[in-house]
Structures are given as C-alpha cells and as structure tokens.
Structure 1
Amino acid sequence: MTDLIPELRTPTAPEGTGRVHSGMPVSRIDGRAKVTGAAQYAAEHDAPDLRYGVVVSGTIARGTITAIDTDAALAVPGVLDVLTHLNRPKVRGFDLAHKDMTAPGGSPFRPLYGSRIFYSGQPVALVVADSFEAARHAAQLVKVSYQEEEHETNLLGSLDQAYKPRALKAGFTPPSSTGDADKAYQAAPVKVESQFYHGVEHHNPMEMHATTVVRADDGHLTIYEKTQSSQNSRWYVSHAFGLSKDKVTVRNPYVGGAFGSGLRPQYQLPLAVMAALHLKCSVRLVLTRQQMFTFGHRPETWQQVKLAANPDGKLQAIVHEAVHETSRLEDYVEVVVNWSGQLYACDNIKLGYKLVAHDRHSPMDMRAPGAAHGVHALEVAMDELAYKLKIDPLELRRINYAERNPMDGKPYSTKELAQCYDKGAARFGWANRPIEPRSMVDGDELVGWGMASGIWDSLVMVARASAVLHADGRLVVSSAASDIGTGTYTVMSMIAAEAMGLPMEQVTFQLGDSTLPMAPIEGGSSHVATVGGAVHGACEKLRTRLMWMAIDSPKSPLAKATPKDLELADGTVRLRKQPDVSLRLVDLLAEKKLDRVEDKFLMTPQMLKQRKYVRAVHQAVFCEVRVNEKLGIVRVTRVVSAVAAGRIISAKTAASQVIGGVVWGISQAMHEESHTDHRFGRFMNHNFSEYHVAVNADIHNIEVIFADEDDRIVSKQLGAKGVGEIGIVGTSAAIANAIFHATGKRLRTTPITPDKILMGEKDVPVAVPKEAKS
C-alpha cells in the first residue's frame, strides 16, 4: 500500500481540532474541500486524450431493435464512433460475469449486449466524440427502428399476477409467520383493515451518475466512478470484460450523494469502459438528469395491513402483505413486511410478500429500502387502531412494547425505543395533544400532531484497515471505504485519533480507492460499525506495538512498565498514573531509526454471538403539520426525531444524517412520485420541474435527540450502530398521522398531494393477490 496515493487527495482535519473523543460535535473534515471546489467528483478528472460519450436512450418498453442508422451521427465533425450491440467490444456471455456484489437473483441487465429491449429508456447506442457538444448533437441523429411488443407496467392492474420471489439475493430473509393470525383476527373484538399504495420514487442525488475512464499507455484503466464501493465496481468491470483486477483501479474519493443508487454499477460504467477499450483512449460519460430516471428506483408498492386488538389495546393479530414490481430479468426483493414481526408484541403474526414482473429496469435500494414503505403502512394502521380504541397513539405503542422479538423470542442486542418515546414526547410536548381530530386551529390552518415508531437493521460486515504512524508523527489510516456524504472521513478520523491519542490534524483517513484494504459496500448503515471497527482494531494493534517499543527502549523512562500501565496521549506514550513520565512518539521512532510503523486489522462480525440476538436501531418520530384545507396545502412545521443507535461517535454528522433522513421522509410523504404513461410504459415526469422533491421552503424545525445506548453485540469495538437509514423510517407515517389528526381524513397513498387533501383519495385496490404461481 502506498500512503497518500497520487491523484487521491484525501482531506485532513483542520488545524486546531485538538484531542477528540466519541460524541464530540466535530465538523466534517471534507467540508472545506467541497464548498471551495477542491473536491473532484467522477466527471471532474481529466486526461490528455479524453473523449466524451453520450448515451442514446430507447423509446419503447418491450421489443427488438430491427435497425440502427448511425450515418448522420458519424458524419458530425469530431465524432469518433457510435457503439451499438453490433460493434461493441467483446464482453463475457454468462450471467455470473455481469453480477456485481449486490445483484439480486436472476439475469442482470447488460447494456448493448443484444437487440432485445427490456424497458423504456434502455441505452441502445453510445456516441463518442472529441467534444461533449459534438457527441450530444450526434446522439440526436441516431435513428433506431423497433419491432414493438405488448408490455406491462401497471402494478395495480396486475396484482393477480403476483408470485413469491424465485431467486433471492444474499442477506434477504423471506417473511415468516407465527401463531394463527387469521383465526385470531376473526375472533378479536376490535379490528382495522387498510390498503396502501406508494408510487415509484427515483434517485436524484446532486451528482449525476458519471464515469471517467483514464487509459494508460500500457492499457491500465483508472476509473473515477460515482459508486458506493470502488471494489464492487472493479469486481464488475474485471469480470464483465475479462480483465485482470491488476489492470483496473477504481476511485471514488468524493461522491455527491448516492443513497443506494451507487450500490450497483449503473450502465454508464460498462459503456464508458467499452468506449475506452474500443477506441484505446480515455473516456468520460455523464448521464443527463432525464437519464437518471432510466435505471433503478424505489419500487411501486401495494400493501395490506390488518390489525386486531382487545379493548385494552393489546394486539391479538398482525397481518401484513405486500406486492411490488420487479423487472423481467431479476427478482429484486426488499424487506417490506418483516418489520411488522419485530416492532410490537403479538402472538399471532402473518407476513406475506410477492412480486409482479414488469417491463421496467430492476428496482434498486433507496434509503431504508423496504422499511420506508413497510413501516409506513404498519404505523398508519397502528394510528387508525388507536383511534378506533380511543387510546392515545403513543400509549398504544407502549401497551404493545416488545421486550423480545415476537417471531422467535430472541432478545434484542439493545433496544432503547422506550427511551426514545419518553425523550421525544417530552421534547415535543405530546402530553398537551388533544386526542380528537380537528381540535387544534390556528387562523386559516388546522394543526395536527402525529407520531410513529421506526426500526432498521444494525448490520456489521467484514472489513480491513491499515494504520501507519510516520516518523514525523502523522497517522495515516486506510480502507477502501466510501463517503457518500455520510461523514465517513470525519468519523473514521475521530476513531483513529481517539485510539492513538492524537489531535485530529495529525490524522489522515484514506478511502475511495480499490487498491486500499478491503471494505464492504457503503450501504445499510453499516460503515461505522464495520469499517470503524477495523480502524479501531488496526489502531489498537499499533498502539500496543508502540507501547512495547517504548518499554523495550534502553533509554526509555517507561522501561519497567507494562502495556496496561501505559496510554497514548498528545503524541506520547506515558504512564497512566504519572502523565509527566512520557516518551514522544517521534523520538521513539527516531531512536529505532524507523520511518514508519504499521499494523493491519481484519474486522469480522461476532457471528455466533450475534445470531442469538435481534439487532436493530430504533426511532420515535413526532410531527406537527398545519393544513390549509381550502387550498390543500400541508406544511410540516415541526419534527422531533428521537433515535437509539448505540454509541454516537460523531454527534454532528450523526445528527445531520438523521436530519437528512427526516427531510427525505417529508419528501416521500408529500412530494416524490414518478408517473407512468402505461400506453408507452414510460416515466413521464423525468425532470426536476415535474418530479417534485422537498426544497428549503418545505423544511422547518427539525430536532434530533439520541438515546443513551451502547451495543457491544453489534459493535464489540465501538458499541455503535448506523444512523444513515433510520431518519426516514417512520417520518412519512408520522406526517400522515398528523394530517389525520388535523383534518380527520385518513390518507393511505403517498405522496399526499393537495388534491387528496381537497377531495380525498381514490380507493386502493383491496383484493388480496392470488396464491403464488408454480
């Protein structure tokens, strides 16, 4: 490993950060680079022979390409070639070669592989030119002829075609059941039954998907890629094109938001590599904002929830069934209904989950995949049940609080959801809430208060890290992790600085390079516990090594000590009980005539121990809305999110992650939805003027509270859990519940747009899908 890899400019902590400890509100150490423009993203790296690619998108949803006329495009000055399925470079033919590390079951989509069209917007050609302008102009001149076939893109019109997933991706647990929920539901005195519908949401991070392939004279490809894992993208490229991994380096030191869209390589990556191999030059390819709507998305989803309880509020039955769309090629699956088997104590739980295959690109993980929809449905149904029972919604959740996992009786590794209820309710002022809808009015607006619970998995994976102390006192820690805006640079530097007793300005954390020590894909809110555990382990080994070096030094004042007597602080090794008795680390390395000391650590989960527990992060979110019923306008004016996520390492970036999740939850509840014209099988509102996202005017007061929690089952080294996903989970349900409290209107589809406030919503289909096909 080479420290400070050329062209990989990792940020260092600002001067004056000083000693750090877990929980400090440290500002992002990559912030200055980002706001000054020093940070280079995937489309900002240059090369002397750089050429530019522009994708030609298909216009039908299903069929076959019969002809492609590229003559007019090739005649444009500066155009080098137009790649199609007829002249692309050779790629491997079997499915396994095109599966990335997170691919679902089935056959992955391969751009320009053949003449078949699987979805509208599919890339059908790539124009490469000396300038972006020439490539863009020429792309408009490519003419494609098709033999069109009938397609299907309407989920609500094809629920009867639902089937159980046939091929599951790693890590997906099919839902199970316990007790006899149908019998208990029929016998219970109080019941609610609700259907929910959620439209497609599309990924739209600030940085659009882009790839810059820099080709060296010897054929080595250095790829700057928008990805959540440089090593996953390298894996994909090397396998798909039959290249040695030594011939491919992928770098992603800065990523302008990803939220799941970078878990899998998107089609611009193989297309850019094709062009670089075909033309033997460097190539940059950036998708347009419109093309950002042509790959994976949060799937369109239908759900049914049935709850039954005794008059005292004790749950007797939970039934939760879901159906969402997938592609014809892959069975993309999400954990939609499983949360209903974890959140509340109940002896009779029935969970069902099915798919409908459509002529669309495979859906894709989007922040809190599955939970964003599944918990929404459960929590709105719980609110509906609370009103039917005439019990406060928060009190109903306390009545059914689960001390052990209802499905298998396992204990939770830690669970401080009750603390979240208490702290969140107190901060929000929930005790002052009148229970009756339409009971709070302020001028022209109805005021409503709603709440919901949230839950997300606490994942830990395998990672490696290296820690190097240099002779000048600098500490360089490395792992092929990613920072997609979550604060990875900052939190890893904090972990290393605290473990080594160094000020932040002497610590550099290197990430975003496939040649660095192995790290998992940044997803599932797992990076802090996983990579952070590896960083802590490497620093712990290095710290012990330095202590023994100090003890073994002939002139050392610590010669008679043992490691348990020593600590590292302020760049020294010193006695714990006599801090004045110390040895500077730089002097220690100088005496040993060493220019560096290095240690490595392999972080592995405590699998045997963890299997005995349910591991999750929890949240209670409280929300205030103000509704102008005459105009259909809803304002989310106040949110309190109380989160139990283990030990918080970086208070500032952790709170920012939750705030970002809450903002997206507001956007999910009120704004985001892609509309399909089913005659063409095409998303129609594929731009920011028509695909609405929450903007500054939609966001008001958001407050984040962290519960006191320390989870050494999830994270033996740090006691931490992830916070990336939990902020969005439950937020949309709390908003829907607050709207009901304000207006008395129960709305079960998202987004909740002004027309639904004014006129209500159309009934969601209530027919339960047919049994699984054989």
Structure 2
Amino acid sequence: MKFDTPAVRNPIDRLKVVGKATPRIDGPLKTTGQAPYAYEQHAAAPGAVYGYIVGAAIAKGRIEAIDHVAASAAPGVLGVVTAQNAGKLDVGAFYVARALAGPEVDHYHQAVAIVVAQTFEQARAAAGLVRVRYARGEGAFDLALAKETAQLLPAKPAQASGIGDFDGAFAGAPVTVDAMYTTPDHAHAMMEPHATIASWSGDQLTLWTAIQLVGWGLRDIAKILGMPKENVRIVAPFIGGGFGGKGSILCDAVLAAVAAKQVGRPVKVALQRALMFNNTTHRAATIQRIRIGATRDGKITAIGHESWSGNLGERPEAATAPTRILYAGANRMTRLRVAHLDLPEASAMRAPGEAPGMMALEIAMDELAEKLALDPVALRILNDTQVDPESPGKPFSRRQLVECLQMGAQKFGWDQRSATPAARREGRWLVGMGMASAIRGAPVIKSAARVSLGKDGGVTVETDMTDIGTGSYTILAQTAAEMLGVPLSTVVVRLGDSRFPEGAGSGGQFGAASSTAGVYAACVKLRAMVAQRLGFGAGELEFADGRVRSGGNSRPLLDAVAQGELQAEDAMEYGDLSKRYAQQTFAAHFVEVGVDAATGEIRIRRMLAVCAAGRIINPMAARSQIIGGMTMGAGAALMEELVVDRRAGFFVNHDLAGYEVPVHADIPHQDVIFLDEVDATIGPLKAKGVGELGISGVPATIANAVYNATGVRVRDYPITLDKLLAHLPPVA
C-alpha cells in the first residue's frame, strides 16, 4: 500500500479503541515472570551450553599470543573460540567495531575469546584460565586533545550547513552569546543484558537474541558470517530495554553463532554487566560551541552551532540537528566534526543528536534571554517559525511549539518564577525554575504485517516489529481491533520473529507510526477479502461490533470465515510527503529544583512536559514513554557520565554501581500533557512517535533551573555539586 497523499477520514478516526488509555497487554506476562527474554528461551534450544566472553585487557595494540590450553582442559569445557579458529568474520553493516579482536585490538574489553562449557560456572572459571599476551600500542582517548585533528567530512553534507552570512550577521548583532559546552559519554544501562542463544540445524542458524531491529540484525549477521539471509532466523519477542544499544548485531550474537557451530550444541551467551559498558556501543561525548546573535528586541539574526565528537569510525554525534530546524534566523551555520578515538564505538542512544545537542542549545537560549532581559518562554515564542529555516519553502506538517510553551507556562505557574537568580529561598534550599523547548524528528519507514481472521473470530497480527518496553504489542492490537471492529481481547499480536513480515523495528522514534501503518495496510487488504467473501460490492464498509455493514446490508464478521480463515499481508510504503513537509514532534519542558545552599545538593521538585506529537494511539503507554525520557534526561543532567581513563583508554565506571542513573528517590512527581493533534502527512493513523521526545531538552531545563536557583551557570555536564560549591551564594 502506498501512502503518498495526506490521510483523509478512515476507520481509525472512529477512535473506539485507538486513542484510549489501554494497559499493556504484555503486562501480565512481564509482571509474573512468564515473558521469555533472549537468555530464557530454554525450551526453544534444549541441551544449550554456556559461553563466557573474555574481554581485551588493553585498549589499543596487538595480541601476540593466546594460551588456552589450561582453559580447554578445565572441567566441562567444550571449546575455546578465538580469532585464530573462528573463521572469517566480516565487519557488520551498522557497527564498525569487530566482534572478535585478533591480532589487532580496537578497544578495551573487545572480545578476544569465548569459552564454552556445560555450565555457566564452568565457562566462567575456565575463562579465568585464558592467558593473553599483548603488545600495547599508543591510542587516542581524550576528545579535548583530539579536537584539533577532528575532521569535517565533506562527502557527507548532513554534517555541515550554511544559510546566509553567519559570520557577518553575528559580528554585527547588538546582543550575542558565544559559549562552549560539553557533554560526557553516556551508557545505555538497560536492565536486560545483551544476550543470545544460537542454534544450528545443518546450515540453518537460529538466534534468540536481544535486538531492536530484526531486519537489520538479519542483514548484519548474514554479512558477518558470510551466509545467505534466508538461512538465518532471528527471534526476539521480548526485550528488556535497548535505548539504541541493541539496534543490531553485537558480539554476543556473533560469538554465540560461531561457538555453536564449533561445539555442535546450542550456545547461550550473556554479556556480563562489567563487559557491556566497554564492549558495546555508547553515546559519544561532545564539545559544542554555540553562537547566537540577536536584535535588542530578541529576534535571532545569526545562529551557529559547532560540535566535536569522537569515534572509531566516521560517524559523529549529530548534536547540531536541533539547531538546524528549531528556531528562525536568516543567517545560519552548523558543523559536525569527528575525531578518531580508540574508545569503544559510539553509536545511537535515545534521541541521538537532539538529546546532547539540546543540552547545549537550550542553555544558550537561556543565556541569550538573560542578556536581553527577556523571559525565556517569550524569547522562544518570538523566534518560532512555521517553515524549515534551512528550507524556506518547506512548511512544518504540524508545529505546535508555541502552544506547548504557552500551556506549559500556564500549567506550571511560570509567572511565579523570579527572573533574578538565587532570589528565592525556602529555609536551607535555593529554589529555581527552568524551561526548554524540545524537538525530535517524526520519520516513518516501510513496515509490513500479516493479519489473519480465524474461524473463531480471533485476529492474529504478525510482524517482526519488536517491543523494547514501549508498548508495541498493545498499539498494534489496538490498530487491528479498530480496523476490523472487534474487541481488543480477541486480537493476538506476535512480534520479533524474522519469519514474519519485516516491520519497522524499534528505533529512531519511527517504530509506532510505521508499524501501526503496516498493520493498517494489511487490515485494508483483509477488509476487502472479507467484503468479497460476504458478497458486498465496492461501496463503503463499516466494521463494528463484530459485524460488517455495507449500505443497508449487515452480516456477522464470522460469516466471512465460515469456510476457512482469511489472511492478508501488506506493507505501508511512503511517497514524498517527508520531502514536502518538515515532520517533527515538539515539547516544552518545565522543572523546579531545590539546591542546598550549604552542600550544593540538587533535588528535582517537579517536572512537566507538554507535548505535540500527532495522534496519541495509547495515552497510557505514551505517558510512560515521556516520563521515562524525562527520567533519563534527569540522569544526563545530574549524574550520568562514563569516566574515561585517558591513560589506559577505557571507561572506568563500567558497572551499575559506578555508573549512576536516577532511582525513585531522585524523581518527583512528573506530569505530561498531550495537545490534541493529528498529522495527516505522517500516515493513516495520523500519529507520531514519542519515545525520544521525552528526553530531548530535559537536561538543559534542569541546568537552567539550577542557574535560576543559584546564579551558577554550569556548561559542563553532569551538574555535580563540585561544580557548584565554590560559587554558591553565602549561606544566610
């Protein structure tokens, strides 16, 4: 099915099921421990043995020798796989880093071996007997030192943009901001570790694995192992969080597959938590310079954003993305530069680009507002634009940023904020408010599904779309129930299996809008098959309450399957609407904090997000996604930092004890408001994703609130008390 013109009224618009707050249909399985995650697929792979990965002890250099004689002779050991006996492994299409080091070592904790044994304990004990001799090499581990050698890649125009005369306009602006900001490396720190069970049957490989995009995984594992995609099956029905870190195949899947081939048994591999931080991907640290010039009444005349990040390959963190589209301004410049670093590979993490970019941009906007003596909300409203500022003829499909800002200010009580920093005290606490805008793209991609109508009236939806804790099972069931006029309880959704039609996968905030559109397309085809079975003509059909109506005729839906079930498969493909319209989601975030005047301790008191993100398919799940993003934003603002040992080249705090993330005590009441919105250019459901909008802008909101509370401007995240203590106002 092709979506190339804006949606008109269709069966989804009845909103009998879609748009209703609906508990997660997979919730009972998860809360009772019955949802099988990758490592728990015991019944699927009987006789599975255990693999334990040995990580490199250096960050850069060569392996001179590996002695695994003692390990191979240890009790229960079935085999030891290294680069010497693994066979050729090609680099994956999505990730640069090799799954198995040898002889070169790319980064610390890169896998150098996997030990396979009858039990996990035997594999772990034997792994401790593997002896590796290294020749340590010189590596680059410090982004600040590598900044001057960072490259602007001219072959990739997305890394640089320019409109008008930025330098001239900035030089001539009566009011300017020119500041540097830094964000550290971040870890995904999801609950479920990277894990895989691999099993071979002849030349057929099955992987039960934790992966967000099954189609990407199928592509990548086939390339890495040099085998046809048709000979691989990937199964991922439940995933315990990903945040971009499980986008495609990583070393657990590759080494489980290689080891299973060698020992002739299914092999289970789970990355131990301490290995995950250095072995897998992370969000890259950035150094950002933002320059904004404005007239004395607050109109932006020049806006420039430069960002430096480091990586093993040529993929920079796209921190300039929000600056390119969020605010008006005739003269514009953005630059992304990437430096080679021998740290673990950097890649996608929730809202890549927007999350770290707005950590800087929205502080800079706050600084500009202060210089102008203008309210921060008013400044943002003044510089709103209804067209893409880099493509003046391209309007936004829907843009309710101003409405988000106005409603947020009114609901939060923004008029009670003191414009003078450190002016409000409540006992020992300095109290302040902060706000920021948020933007995140609303892409859609091709997504397919298969929908079946059984003789008992049950509906089955099948697609390889995944659910990483976001509610995919529920929104796909809601879509099918709405289209076929049946109760939600009669719909069964089966996800995460490469034998099913290829769906969008979970990532990039495209999953919800794309995958529901794929189910819609399959349901349209199924509705036509039902009409034909019932002898209805080409007139308008109504599917409701288990019946099908056309004109004056009405028949039970079950009559269509009296002679056998019906099954339809289709995909939603897209025309050029994304080129004709700027398709984005928007939010305004507001935060109140208290800062201890003596210790610098920061406590978030309350948080509000007002969002405009198309039709909300399931308000309950969408709210959960937004508050989850807000919580991650709080972590990014106040505590999250992968600390780099710049001599040895690794992340020091590589476990959940050393890498701090927010806990319940850190997060106060959070409120989320969704504006009424449908976006007919996105797809037939007129819905957009929200999973990454919730984090965008939040760290800067907190930074701005801390400044309002204390008068201390921190431009280097995270905002820890050591950055406040020496500058706090005197204790009364």
Q: TM class by shorter-chain length?
A: over 0.9
Structure 2 counterpart of 1:293: 277
- Superposed CA offset, 1:9-56 (max 9, x none): xxxxxxxxxx94222100000000001011000111123321111111
Matches within 5 A, 1:14-29: 20-29=16-25
C-alpha contact (below 8 Å) 1:671/1:693 kept by paired residues = yes
Corresponding residue to 1:91 among 88, 92, 99 = 88
- RMSD (CA atoms): 1.7
**How far apart in 1 are the matches of 2:160 and 2:676?**
31
**How far apart in 1 are the matches of 2:324 and 2:560?**
56
Matches within 5 A, 1:121-140: 121-140=109-128
**How far apart in 2 are the matches of 1:121 and 1:308?**
45
Structure 2 counterpart of 1:683: 651
Q: SS in structure 2 opposite 1:290?
A: helix
Q: Is 1:229 aligned to residue 191 of structure 2?
A: no
Corresponding residue to 1:400 among 383, 388, 395 = 383
Shift of 1:538: 1.2
Shift of 1:685: 0.9
Corresponding residue to 1:538 among 522, 528, 532 = 522
Given the superposition, is the C-alpha separation of residues 714 and 175 from structure 1 closer, same or farther in structure 2, using an over 3 Å criterion? farther
Output the TM-score relative to the length of structure 1.
Answer: 0.90
Corresponding residue to 2:40 among 40, 44, 52 = 44
**How far apart in 2 are the matches of 1:273 and 1:159?**
39
Shift of 1:270: 0.6
Q: Is 1:111 aligned to residue 96 of structure 2?
A: no
Structure 2 counterpart of 1:603: 572
Structure 1 counterpart of 2:27: 31
**How far apart in 1 are the matches of 2:636 and 2:160?**
25
Q: SS in structure 2 opposite 1:338?
A: coil
Structure 1 unaligned residues grouped into runs of 5+: 1-18, 553-560, 762-774
Structure 2 counterpart of 1:207: 192
Corresponding residue to 1:455 among 433, 439, 443 = 439
**Matched letter for residue 271 of structure 1:** L
Q: Is 1:385 aligned to residue 368 of structure 2?
A: yes
Shift of 1:245: 2.8
Shift of 1:710: 1.0
**How far apart in 1 are the matches of 2:131 and 2:216?**
34
Q: Is 1:571 aligned to residue 568 of structure 2?
A: no
**How far apart in 2 are the matches of 1:213 and 1:629?**
55
C-alpha contact (below 8 Å) 1:447/1:742 kept by paired residues = yes
Structure 2 unaligned residues grouped into runs of 5+: 1-14
Shift of 1:154: 0.5
C-alpha contact (below 8 Å) 1:28/1:487 kept by paired residues = yes
C-alpha contact (below 8 Å) 1:20/1:494 kept by paired residues = no
C-alpha contact (below 8 Å) 1:747/1:760 kept by paired residues = no
Q: Is 1:190 aligned to residue 166 of structure 2?
A: no
Structure 1 counterpart of 2:707: 740
Bigger shift: residues 251-260 or 264-273: 264-273
Q: Is 1:443 aligned to residue 411 of structure 2?
A: no
Q: Is 1:149 aligned to residue 117 of structure 2?
A: no
Output the TM-score relative to the length of structure 2.
Answer: 0.95
Structure 2 counterpart of 1:525: 509
Shift of 1:503: 0.2
Structure 2 counterpart of 1:697: 665
Q: SS in structure 2 opposite 1:382?
A: helix
**How far apart in 2 are the matches of 1:305 and 1:159?**
16
Structure 2 counterpart of 1:751: 718
Bigger shift: residues 188-197 or 108-117: 108-117
- Superposed CA offset, 1:600-650 (max 9, x none): 22211222x321111111111011111102111111111110111001111
Corresponding residue to 2:581 among 597, 613, 636 = 613
Structure 2 counterpart of 1:765: none
Corresponding residue to 2:75 among 62, 77, 96 = 77
Structure 2 counterpart of 1:346: 329
**How far apart in 1 are the matches of 2:220 and 2:292?**
44
Shift of 1:360: 1.6
**How far apart in 2 are the matches of 1:563 and 1:544?**
11
**How far apart in 2 are the matches of 1:586 and 1:699?**
50
C-alpha contact (below 8 Å) 2:453/2:561 kept by paired residues = no
Structure 2 counterpart of 1:335: 318
- Superposed CA offset, 1:698-719 (max 9, x none): 010111111121111122x111
C-alpha contact (below 8 Å) 1:423/1:705 kept by paired residues = no
- Superposed CA offset, 1:695-738 (max 9, x none): 000010111111121111122x1111110100000000000000
C-alpha contact (below 8 Å) 1:20/1:503 kept by paired residues = no
- Superposed CA offset, 1:141-191 (max 9, x none): 1111111111110111221111113775xxx83331101111111111111
Bigger shift: residues 420-429 or 315-324: 420-429
Structure 1 counterpart of 2:294: 309
**How far apart in 1 are the matches of 2:165 and 2:626?**
37
Structure 1 counterpart of 2:259: 275
Bigger shift: residues 705-714 or 250-259: 705-714
Corresponding residue to 1:365 among 343, 348, 353 = 348
C-alpha contact (below 8 Å) 1:548/1:563 kept by paired residues = no
Q: SS in structure 2 opposite 1:739?
A: helix
Shift of 1:497: 0.4
Structure 2 counterpart of 1:664: 632
**Matched letter for residue 276 of structure 2:** M
Shift of 1:589: 2.2
C-alpha contact (below 8 Å) 2:626/2:695 kept by paired residues = yes
Q: Is 1:262 aligned to residue 246 of structure 2?
A: yes
**Matched letter for residue 293 of structure 1:** F
Shift of 1:574: 2.7
**Matched letter for residue 92 of structure 2:** K
Shift of 1:99: 2.8
Q: SS in structure 2 opposite 1:352?
A: strand
Q: Is 1:471 aligned to residue 455 of structure 2?
A: yes
Q: Is 1:586 aligned to residue 558 of structure 2?
A: yes
Structure 1 counterpart of 2:693: 726
Q: Is 1:712 aligned to residue 680 of structure 2?
A: yes
Shift of 1:562: 5.5
Shift of 1:411: 0.5
C-alpha contact (below 8 Å) 2:464/2:497 kept by paired residues = yes
**Matched letter for residue 477 of structure 1:** V
**Matched letter for residue 98 of structure 1:** V
**How far apart in 1 are the matches of 2:578 and 2:213?**
25
**Matched letter for residue 704 of structure 2:** N
**How far apart in 1 are the matches of 2:477 and 2:512?**
11
**Matched letter for residue 144 of structure 1:** V
- Superposed CA offset, 1:421-441 (max 9, x none): 122111111122221111221
**How far apart in 1 are the matches of 2:193 and 2:155?**
31
Q: Is 1:652 aligned to residue 620 of structure 2?
A: yes
Structure 2 counterpart of 1:771: none
Bigger shift: residues 496-505 or 429-438: 429-438
**How far apart in 1 are the matches of 2:727 and 2:241?**
35
Shift of 1:335: 2.3
Q: SS in structure 2 opposite 1:689?
A: coil
- Superposed CA offset, 1:369-393 (max 9, x none): 1111111211100000101111000
Q: SS in structure 2 opposite 1:264?
A: coil
Given the superposition, is the C-alpha separation of residues 237 and 338 from structure 1 closer, same or farther in structure 2, using an over 3 Å criterion? closer
**How far apart in 1 are the matches of 2:496 and 2:220?**
16
Q: Is 1:68 aligned to residue 66 of structure 2?
A: yes
Structure 1 counterpart of 2:9: none
**How far apart in 2 are the matches of 1:403 and 1:247?**
49
Q: SS in structure 2 opposite 1:317?
A: strand
**How far apart in 1 are the matches of 2:189 and 2:281?**
11
**How far apart in 1 are the matches of 2:91 and 2:640?**
31
**Matched letter for residue 548 of structure 2:** V
**How far apart in 2 are the matches of 1:704 and 1:111?**
41
Shift of 1:244: 2.9
Shift of 1:219: 4.5
